[in-house]
Structure 1
Amino acid sequence: MPADTVTVRPAVEADAPVIPAFIRELAVFENEPDAVKATEADLRRDGWGERPVFEAMIAELDGAPVGFALTFRNYSTWEGRHGIFVEDLYVRPEARRHGVGRRLLAAVARRAVEQGCRRMDLNVLDWNPARGFYAALGFRHLEEWLPYRLTGDALGVLAAAE
């Protein structure tokens, strides 16, 4: 294979061992090395089990896996259509500057268009230098929307409330 050949393909169950490695590397990059609880078994169940809840794309550089994008569907009541949320996008440092991230997002965008999606969403940490990359692709920072999350004990307390 010629040098610097980037390919992107849908992940298959045989990719299940490499995806948690990418997730852990991303967590280290995001300064949360101990936050990952997902296991290979979780990913097999939720990506290729009876009711898949996510899809993933694998990027390869010269035949070796170097990145991934993990997505799931969301729904817009305003659009009246589903969209795709990019939960994770990660490219190993040695593969950056080869167009891998752009190719991964282009593949996700193609899948979104093929599936009739009206939008593609993702979150980016405020300090992440990739913000410029996303902006250059046409992603718009939604300053007026603030993410909120309920987890742990607070989730249990609300679930128990009447």
Structure 2
Amino acid sequence: MPTVTIRPAVEADCATILRFVKELAAFEREPDAVKATEEDFRRDGWGERPVFDALIAELDGAPVGFALCFRNYSTWEGRAGIFVEDLYVTPDARRFGVGRKLLTAVAKRAVEQGCRRVDLNVLDWNPARDFYDRIGFKQMEEWLPYRLTGGALAALAAQAED
């Protein structure tokens, strides 16, 4: 059985993170949607004000997956939480428990940092939903995600009073 290790990402992993993000986008049927660059990850993960953390999963020393997370805050809990923006494992490595080990590491960080929850989003057609259910995540049917981007974001911002 191959050895799975999880380690914190380092700045030198930016190219690997970008590759995994592009592979995830292709899996999610949006292969041309990724605008991020290695420099974006370098700036936002290891720059003056980091906004995300990432973990790299390795199978016998070779990178096979990652989890990219950032902190959120619950006003109801009065505590921070962790939002998993991306969780990706290469198809050939999925049968070795890599995804579970990544989420176990995220959960451990959350507990160590006093966080009360870990959140993530899953596409409705993604077969990984069964995996998330098995490890204890609960789908929140009553909460619907909304997003403001592009022209709508610019239009609303333009309405702000200075």
The one-character-per-residue Cα deviations of 1:30-89 (angstroms, maximum 9, x if unpaired) are 000011011000000000000000000000001100000000000000000000000000
Deviation at 1:98, TM superposition (A): 0.2
Alpha-carbon distance between aligned partners in 1 of 2:12 and 2:33, rounded to the nearest angstrom: 24
**Aligned pairs, how many?**
160
Give the equivalent residue in structure 2 for 1:130: 128
Is 2:39 the partner of 1:41?
A: yes
* Identity across the alignment (%): 77
2:97 corresponds to: 99
Q: CA RMSD in A?
A: 0.6
Which residue of structure 2 lines up, in the alignment, with residue 67 of structure 1? 65
Partners of 1:83 and 1:136 in 2: CA distance: 21
| Unaligned 5+ runs, structure 1 | none
Letter aligned with residue 105 of structure 1: L
Q: Gaps (5+ residues) in structure 2? A: none
SS class of match (1:85): strand
Structure-2 separation of matches of 1:14 and 1:39: 13
Partners in 1 of 2:80 and 2:122 — Cα distance?
21
The amino acid that maps onto 1:70 is L
- Separation in structure 1 between the aligned mates of residue 11 and residue 70 of structure 2, nearest angstrom: 16
The DSSP-based 3-state class of the residue aligned with 1:89 is: strand
Number of the residue aligned with 1:79: 77
SS at match of 1:69: strand
Tell me by how many angstroms 1:17 deviates.
1.1
Task: Please state how far the C-alpha of 1:14 moved relative to its aligned partner.
Answer: 1.0
> Residues of 2 paired with 1:6 and 1:148: CA distance?
36
Output the CA distance in 1 between the equivalents of 2:86 and 2:134: 18
Per the TM alignment, residue 134 of structure 1 is displaced from its structure 2 partner at its CA by 0.2
Which 4+ runs in 1 deviate beyond 6 A?
A: none
> Who is 2:16 aligned against?
18
2:3 matched residue in structure 1:
5
Q: What is the distance in 1 between the residues matched to 2:138 and 2:47?
A: 34
* Cα shift at 1:16: 1.0
1:160 aligns with 2:158: yes
| Separation (CA, whole Å) in 2 of partners of 1:120 and 1:80 | 14
User: Partners in 2 of 1:17 and 1:88 — Cα distance?
Assistant: 15
Question: What's the secondary structure of 1:109's corresponding residue?
Answer: helix
